[in-house]
Amino acid sequence: MERGTREYALWSIGILLILTFSIFPVLWIVSVSLKDPATITEGTNFGNTFIPQDITFDNYDALFTGGVSESPFLKPLINSILIGLISTVIAIVLAAFAAYAIARLDFPGKTLILAGALALAIFPAISTVGPLFDMWRALGLYDTYPGLIIPYLAFALPLAIYVLVAFFREIPWDLEQAAQVDGATPFQAFRKVIVPLAAPGVFTAAILVFIFAWNEFLFAISLTSSDASRTVPAALAFFTGESQFTEPTGNIAAAGVIVTVPIIIFVLIFQRRIVAGLTSGAVKG
């Protein structure tokens, strides 16, 4: 298709429409976050302007005033970051070991484990919330970091394992054997030869797990009761507005921007890796 033809122009318009449709909600949220809280609901349905008349950063300020103890957002943000990172690291380490065994070895129960992992991944999370709530309260894990990290691991591991198995399968068996003959223990062979080669896969799995933990809402809202471990998605629900009856839309929008935009940038930078990671097992070479 050449530039300047009618076909090109039509395609451009079509793609632009789709892009606008997709990104419009996000842009709207950014715009809302920049508006004066009192004026957000002003005007008729469509009279509400897209581009704010007065750009103000009050909403953002409100989020951060009061420091960690007072601000409704700062502690949850820290919780999100920490819980996300810890879940990712543990999930990747465990998944790497599991994926290596599954990709390389033939052991009894292998199919069972894979099937189990798949079953876990498609399991309706909501049905586990009630029992978990009771269990965590009894065990004292309610409203703690481990209280969230453990369910996150359970649901993120299958995904990580599958991605990593696909990657490990791509690495020729010969390399580890060469390493063993060269004097490496199996663990050294794994660490020095396999892991560097599986880096794209590890990266992909890490990104996917982190995004899952970051956006997770169900457990965050059910298994926490205070800022001790509440993450941002859940914390957003507890924002208070100017009075008992106003929705703090501006604050919520600002929090949403802070939480979403970094992920978007992150994924944009690493998108090649992620796509490579997800499709690598598909075609040889």
The answer to whether 156 touches 91, Cβ cutoff 8 Å, is yes
By the rule CB under 8 A, 193 interacts with other proteins: yes
Based on the shown chain and the rule CB under 8 A, indicate whether residue 2 belongs to the binding site for other proteins: no
Cα–Cα distance, 32 to 52 (Å, whole number): 7
Give the range of 71-79, 80-88, 134-142, 192-200 binding other proteins by CB under 8 A. Answer: 192-200
Asked whether position 96 contacts other proteins by CB under 8 A, the answer is no
Of 219, 216, 84, 212, residue with least CA distance to 160: 212
Segment (H or E) for 249: helix 249-279
CB of 185 to other proteins, least distance (A): 7
Q: Cα separation of 22 and 59, whole Å?
A: 25
Instruction: Assess 182 for contact with other proteins (CB under 8 A).
Output: yes
The two three-digit tokens of residue 217, written as one number? 């809402």
Give the burial class of 260: count Cβ atoms within 10 A of its Cβ; 0-12 exposed, 13-18 middle, 19 or more buried. Answer: middle
Residue that is written with structure tokens 């990266």 in the block: 203
Q: Is 172 in the site for other proteins (CB under 8 A)?
A: yes
Record the tokens describing residue 8, joined without a space: 């090109």
Stretches 127-135, 187-195, 209-217, 227-235: which one binds other proteins (CB under 8 A)? 187-195
150 phi/psi in degrees, rounded to 5: -65, -50
179 binds other proteins (CB under 8 A): yes
Q: How far is CA 141 from the centre of its chain?
A: 23
Closest to other proteins by CB, 191 or 272: 191
- Under the criterion CB under 8 A, does residue 228 sit at the interface with other proteins? no
Asked whether position 197 contacts other proteins by CB under 8 A, the answer is: yes
User: Could you say whether residue 276 binds other proteins (CB under 8 A)?
Assistant: no
HSE value, Cβ hemisphere, 13 Å, CA-based, for 100: 18
CB of 188 to other proteins, least distance (A): 7
Is 185 a binding residue for other proteins by CB under 8 A? The answer is yes
Region binding other proteins by CB under 8 A among candidate stretches 89-97, 118-126, 171-179, 224-232: 171-179
Contact residues for other proteins, defined by CB under 8 A = 172, 174-175, 177-185, 188, 192-193, 196-197
